[in-house]
Structures are given as C-alpha cells and as structure tokens.
Amino acid sequence: MSRRILIAGNWKMNMRAASAASLAKGIVDAVGKNSPVEVVLCPPAAYLHTVSEATAGTSVEVGGQNLYPADDGAFTGELNAAMLTDVGCRYVILGHSERRQLMGETDACVSKKLHAAMAGNLVPIVCVGETLEQREAEETEAVIEKQIRGSLEGLDEVRAAGIVIAYEPVWAIGTGKTASKEQAEAVHAFIRGLLADMFSPGVAEQIRIQYGGSVKPGNAAELLAEPNIDGALVGGASLKVEYFAGIIAAA
C-alpha cells in the first residue's frame, strides 16, 4: 500500500509575524500545485492565523504544536482543538519530546490530547523517541512501545488509521546527529509491527510514520527511501525556505 509522504515543519518558538508570512509564502511557492508530497507548517500559536492566510487556497496545510484537551472554559493560556480548526489547522503535533521533557507531558496526557484532537477533526502527529541513554542501554524498543501504547490508549481501529506517528530519537533533535537510515528504518519497522499488533496489519499499513531528528536536504532522500519512513518532522531546517524546500524536493 502506498502512503503519501508527509513533510511537516515544526517552527517551535521562532519567527515574528512578518517572517512567518514570508516563510510560509516561500514554501507555498516552492511546493507549487499538484505536489505528490503533503506539506504542513506548524508555526507558534501566535502566528497560526498569519500562516493560514499565507497558505489559504494552496495545498500547504497548517498544524498546531499542541492543544489542551477540554472544551472552552477557564484554562488560562491554553487553546483547544476547536480553536485550532477555527484558525485553519488540519494537523496538531502532540507529545513532542520538548513538551515531554520541559512541560512534564506523560503518555496519559498525550492520550487525552489525542482523543480531543480526533474528536475535533484534527490529525494528530504523535511524537515518540528514546534518549541517548536509553538507546545505549538497548531500551529503545521498550521505550517506544511504552510511549505508543500509552499515548494511543483507548484509540479504536477506525480512528487509528488516520493518525500520524513521528519517531524522533531525542538524541537527534537539534543536535545535528541524524539516525542512520538503517537505525531509523529498524525503529519504524518495529513501530509498524507494534501497530499491527495493537490494531490490525491493514491499519498499520495505513498509518504514516515520520522520522524527525536533524533532517536536512542532504540526508532526506536516503531516509525517505526506506520502506517504513513515510515523511519527516523537521525542526531547524524548516525555518529556511531553501532547506525546507530542499527536503520536500528530496522526497
């Protein structure tokens, strides 16, 4: 089964309104019409509207970097799925390692967000990944399995087919160290097997699994050529049109 490549840019806490608009427009121009690759831009919440406007009527989609799993109410500083869709989002990144490490997000918390995202018609990009210490202790598969089982808790087969998983080894994020294509493919194949076990082989075949961790134009093609790597979640290199466009072109 062929899964459409998904390249998402996680802008993290970067940009200002003017630079966000110009980066988004640059990406729109680079992607053009009828791209075989699906492209998503995930700006900070403050610039979702700006990026939605800059990408309106194009094939480039918009995603949030987080959400709070509740309906409108007394949750100062938060935003929910309805607000993300209202401002033009189709995707939302959940459980990024920075949120797990800096904001103490647990698998149970990611699972609540996942259900809120899906109930609000957003496609969740669920991030998982091991630390260097865990990899060196040969705990990678156990860590990934725990994160996936916990983060997807309560998800049924029908909805599972529509999610995206991003495998992002923590040691490769923002460090310039990329997992080799063999290392990445081994974990992606493990994840697909796990999804087959949790749901069904057919559902596992439909779920896109992105790789993230220092993806650049120079290493994207070989990673994306692996059979179980269905796209990339890109941090640093998504902040420059030429780098991000280079990754899209490599796909």
State yes or no: 202 annotated in a binding site. no
Cβ atoms within 10 A of the Cβ of 247, count?
26
Residue 220 Cβ vs ligand PEP, minimum distance, rounded to whole Å: 11
Q: Are strands 164-167 and 123-128 parallel, antiparallel or unpaired?
A: parallel
d(C-alpha 178, C-alpha 169), whole Å: 9
| 130 or 168: CB nearest ligand PEP | 168
Residue 173 Cβ vs ligand PEP, minimum distance, rounded to whole Å: 4
d(C-alpha 72, C-alpha 84), whole Å: 12
State yes or no: 25 annotated in a binding site. no
State yes or no: 12 annotated in a binding site. yes
H/E/C letters for each residue in 166-194?
A: EECCHHHCCCCCCCCHHHHHHHHHHHHHH
d(C-alpha 208, C-alpha 229), whole Å: 8
| 107 or 199: CB nearest ligand PEP | 107
| 10 or 151: CB nearest ligand PEP | 10
3-state DSSP assignment of residue 226: coil
Amino acid, single-letter form, for residue 201: P
Amino acid, single-letter form, for residue 167: Y
3-state DSSP assignment of residue 127: strand
Residue 56 Cβ vs ligand PEP, minimum distance, rounded to whole Å: 25
Residue 163 Cβ vs ligand PEP, minimum distance, rounded to whole Å: 17
β-partners of residue 149 are none
* Token couple for 251: 């796909």
Residues of this chain that bind ligand PEP (CB under 6 A): 10, 168, 173-174, 212-215, 233-237
d(C-alpha 57, C-alpha 33), whole Å: 10
State yes or no: 80 annotated in a binding site. no
| 28 or 128: CB nearest ligand PEP | 128
d(C-alpha 141, C-alpha 191), whole Å: 8
Residue 196 Cβ vs ligand PEP, minimum distance, rounded to whole Å: 25
Residues with active-site annotation: 96, 168
| 84 or 237: CB nearest ligand PEP | 237
Q: From the annotation, which residues make up the binding site?
A: 10-12, 174, 214, 235-236
Q: From the annotation, which residues make up the binding site for substrate?
A: 10-12, 174, 214, 235-236
